[in-house]
Every structure is written in C-alpha cells, then in structure tokens.
Structure 1
Amino acid sequence: MTELGGWDPTSGRSAHRAGAPTLIPVPSLLRSLLSDHLDPGYAAAARSPRPRRAVDRVWQVAAAALVAAVFALAWSQAKATAPGVRESQQVLAASVRSAEASTDALTVRRNGLAAEVDSERRSRLAGDATGRQLLGDLDQANFAAATTPVIGPGLTVTVTDPGVGRDLTDVSKQRVEGSRQVILDRDLQLVVNSLWLSGAEAISVGGVRIGPNVTIRQAGGGILVDNQPIASPYVILAVGPPHAMADTFDRSSGLQRLRLLESSYGVGVSVANGDGLTLPAGSIRDLNFATEPGPK
C-alpha cells in the first residue's frame, strides 16, 4: 500500500514494520502548496496583536483629519481673497475700457487733423500745374500705401467657420473635426494673395485695410489683422474690375483651398460681385527714413 505523505525521516532505512504503508517523500514546496492555504503575509497579519491594528486606525483617522484641515484652510483663504480678486478684475476692466475710449478719442482727433492738413495742402498746391502734378503723385502714393479710403466695385468673399461642435479643442496648430475654429491665418493670407493676383486694387479683411507692413497672423485661437482681432464670418472686400477678378479668382489656389475646407469641414464660402464697396483707410505708418530724389 502506497500513500502520499510528508517527509518520512526513516524513509530509505533498512528497518521497517511489516505491513506499514510506504511513505513517498514530498518536497517542502509541494507540501506547502497542498497543506498551506493562507499566504504567509496574511498569516503574519492574522497573528499580529490587536493593539497594532488600533494604532493603525488612529494614524488613518489623524491623516484624514489633517487632509480635511488643509482643504478647509484653502477654502477659507479662497473665500477671504475672493472680494479682492473681483475688485482687481473690475479695476482692470475699467482700465481697459478707459484706454479704449482714450484711443478712440485720439483716433478721431488724428483723423480730423489729417483732414485739415490735406485740405490745406490741396488749397496751396492746386494753384498751378506743378502743384497739381505733385497732388496727383501724392494721391497715387497714398493709395498705394492704403492710407486713403476707397469706394468702388469689386468682389465680396465671405468665409464662415462651421457651427460649434462637441470638441472645443484649440486648433491654432491643426484642424480638429468638429472644433470651433477651422479657418486659420494662412487660409486668409492665401485668399488675399489670390485676390491681388486676380487684379484687386484695394483689399480689406474684417474691416481692416490691407497695406504695407499689415500682417494676418494667428494668436492662440484668434486671428489678428494689423493687430486687430477679427472673428467669423470673415468678410474680405476687394475693389477692382469685378468680372475680370471673378474669372481669375475662380481658378486661384485661394478659392480652391476654401472649396476644400468647405467639403471637408463644412466651412461656409460665398463669393459675390458688388458695387459701391467701401474700404476704410489703413493705419498711418511712422516714417523711418526718406531720401530726396535728385537728378539721375
């Protein structure tokens, strides 16, 4: 008769009892797997005295009380500083409104003085042929510098971002489907350049005149034209021969980009001919240097 047993210290010896079962030596690992059903760590914890568990509970309660005290202190400090924060916000908002009002007043005064200077210049130069020639040259230079308002026929290009979706991720670096903003600065730049190539004589974007040193650039999730923020829908006015411009612009890379955005992201694109388009004067730039033309 053979049975599975533990380690028999007399196994392998010559002396044995007649009829006694033969014990097969079992390694200690296998024996522990068959006989011990409790992990040693749990067994040690079970053998630990009850006072140790009580001490652990005390420390847990103390830690919870400390965390609660920290949160209570932070809440009380936030509550105490909230009036000061609101007051600071109100002061900053009032300062911004005051600066905007001052800027608007200075702009009106500057425009008025510029009109007086222009009127005085014309009255003094219009008296002879040389003066009239100078006035003509000056008008051409001002038109090229976009410092005079323009009214005339041309094209109106309106670009509208799609509706707000579930994903409001800022896409200043890339386009995300369903995001708030799809049109980027490079899209408007391409449209403006395509309109210039199509024969436009003057262009404005979002009510801001495009001229020398005027940039269209991204600032976070917004677009700035000459450092002035614009928002969707983006209205681009281009004064020039409308039919010739429309034929060329229809084949331009700028309109092709808009059509691709229209089909891919649901951007609204509208191109229409118009008469009497009004473009404002651009910002007056500081004169950095000048040279007097001499004989060649």
Structure 2
Amino acid sequence: MSLLTETMERPLDPSYAAAAAARRARGVAPRRRPWNTPVVGAVAVATGLLFATSGLAFTRAEEGRTDRADLIARIERRQQEADAAATHNAALEAQLRALESGAVASGPQGTRLEEVRAAAGATAVGGPGLRITLDDAPGLGPVGGGGPRGDAAEEGGRIVYRDLQQVTNELWASGAEGVAINGHRLTSTTAIRFAGDAVLVGFRPLARPYVIDAIMGRAEQARFTGGAGGRYLDELRTAYSLVADVRAPSSLTLPPADTTQLRYARLPGGGGAPGATSAPSPGTTPEKENG
C-alpha cells in the first residue's frame, strides 16, 4: 500500500524531478518534444486534408459510376421502346395494306387507288422514259465560292440546286409520271435546295454526277426535249460547258419514295362505306387532320 500511495502522491521519479530543477536553476528551457513543433503540426494538417480529399474523390467516383449505369439503363429502355414501336408500326402497315387490297382488289376503285399511289410516290413505277445526267464542267477545280452561282467565274461551271429544280419542273410540266434523282424518288413535298456547297434532295446530300430518271411516254419526251427543258439543257452545255447528257431508255424503274405521310383525310359521304365516291354533305366538316 505504501508503494501505491507514493506513486499516487509523487508520480514523477525523484531523479527526474531533481534534473528538471537543476535545469531551471541554470536557466535552461525545458526540452520540447518533436511532436510539439509547428512543422509536425503542418504535416498533420496536410495529411488530414489529403485523406479528406481522397475520400471525396472516391465518393464522387462511385457516384459517377452509378450515374453512368443509370444512363445506360435509360438508353436501353428507350431502345427497347423504339424497337417495340417500330414493330407495331410495321404490323399496322401490313394490316393497312391487307385492308386496301381486300377493299379494292378489283374494279375502278382499285385502279384509281393504284394511280393515286403512283402519283404520290408510294409505289414503284416503270416504263419508258428519259435519263438525264448532269455534271460539272470537265477539268473544274475544287468547289469554291459562297453559294449557288454566286460568283460566275467560280460557280458558272458547276451544277447547282437550281439546275436540278429547273430540269425536274420541266419534266413534270411535260407529263412525267415519276421522277427520281440519284435513286431518290421525288414527290410533291420533296425539296431541292443547297447547304453550303452540297445539293440536298429531300434533306439528303447527293454526290455528283446527278442522274435524273423520269418515266414518260414518247410524246412527253418529245415535248420536253423540244420545249423549255431541252433549251435549258442546251444553255448549260453551251454557256457553262456543263455535262448534260440525255438518253431515252426503253425501260426504267423508279423506287417508291423514302417516306409518305398522310396529313389529311376526307370522309366520303355521310358515314358511307369505305371507298364510296359520293360528295360530303353540305354543312359538314369533311377534313380531319391525321398528322
């Protein structure tokens, strides 16, 4: 018990206490432990910041991986929804074709339907016609200038969108049943324009040479070549040295248009059977928007 009492009352060894008293008597400052220096404190703070930054970076990396996984899952879900919608659309189109063929399989209505589909570009058409090939003047350098025929010195020897517009319009005016440029069928809603130096047909960029196929009979061909269309091609050859080759194959086939969209429908009669030809009743609103 005496040892425990002495330890409680005098925890410091007498020799250590005597040495500390002697240093104080000589005016010597007490020794400082290395861990009490400012350098050690700064290192400790820096180490703490390093561990904190590492923890934050790890947390953000985990969050980034989670966000990426969520994004991939959303993309996959949207892709599945798009595939399902495409499958459903294909089934509806097949059903529509079956109903059309069953409703007007024969008779004047079927003939009229085929004529309308051909005029709208919904079906392929074939027969005799003209094949017109338009290309830049031989030996012309790279494309330059700021727009279609903006600089006669640079753009005069190039085929521009207005040339395609003019030729196709003259083909329609001469009685063409169908027209295609580089295999792209033209309809009443197809635009021919330019974007920079590129010629766009239905928002699709085309590469030269530009091959225009038109289904038309011999009389319509003569009307085109002997009219404004033929004169325009002659002007391209003589005034600008452009390539404007015209041939008349005995058989051409034009593919259907890329897309056809029904925007308006007219109900014949007052609730009559599909395919009826009677006129709408007065005072009714026959047109209904479908797109």
Common fold, TM-score beyond 0.5? yes
Partner of 2:113: 138
Q: CA deviation at 1:236?
A: 0.6
Partner of 1:224: 200
Kindly report which structure 2 residues correspond to 1:182-261, keeping only aligned pairs within 5 A, or say none: 182-241=158-217, 243-261=218-236
User: Is the CA contact 1:171–1:181 (under 8 Å) kept in the aligned structure 2?
Assistant: no
Cα 1:134–1:166 change in 2 (3 A) is closer
Say which of 103, 126, 139 aligns to 1:125. Answer: 103
Cα 1:211–1:113 change in 2 (3 A) is farther
Cα 1:236–1:158 change in 2 (3 A) is same
TM-score if structure 2 supplies the norm length? 0.56
| AA aligned opposite 1:275 | S
For 1:290 and 1:122, locate their aligned partners in 2 and report how far apart those are by CA, in whole Å.
15
For 2:249 and 2:89, locate their aligned partners in 1 and report how far apart those are by CA, in whole Å.
28
For 1:109 and 1:121, locate their aligned partners in 2 and report how far apart those are by CA, in whole Å.
18
CA RMSD of aligned residues (A): 3.1
Secondary structure class of the residue paired with 1:274: coil
Q: CA deviation at 1:118?
A: 5.9
Q: CA deviation at 1:164?
A: 5.0
Secondary structure class of the residue paired with 2:153: coil
Say which of 245, 250, 255 aligns to 1:275. Answer: 250
Partner of 2:24: none
Kindly report which structure 2 residues correspond to 1:61-140, keeping only aligned pairs within 5 A, or say none: 116-117=94-95, 120-121=98-99, 124-125=102-103, 132-140=107-115
User: Is the CA contact 2:137–2:157 (under 8 Å) kept in the aligned structure 1?
Assistant: yes
TM-score if structure 1 supplies the norm length? 0.55
| AA aligned opposite 1:184 | V
Q: CA deviation at 1:119?
A: 5.3
Secondary structure class of the residue paired with 1:286: coil
The answer to whether the aligner puts 1:172 opposite 2:147 as a matched pair is yes
Q: Any unmatched runs of 5+ in structure 2?
A: 1-82, 270-277, 280-291
Secondary structure class of the residue paired with 1:256: helix
User: Is the CA contact 1:171–1:182 (under 8 Å) kept in the aligned structure 2?
Assistant: no
For 2:121 and 2:145, locate their aligned partners in 1 and report how far apart those are by CA, in whole Å.
33
Count residues with an aligned counterpart. 187
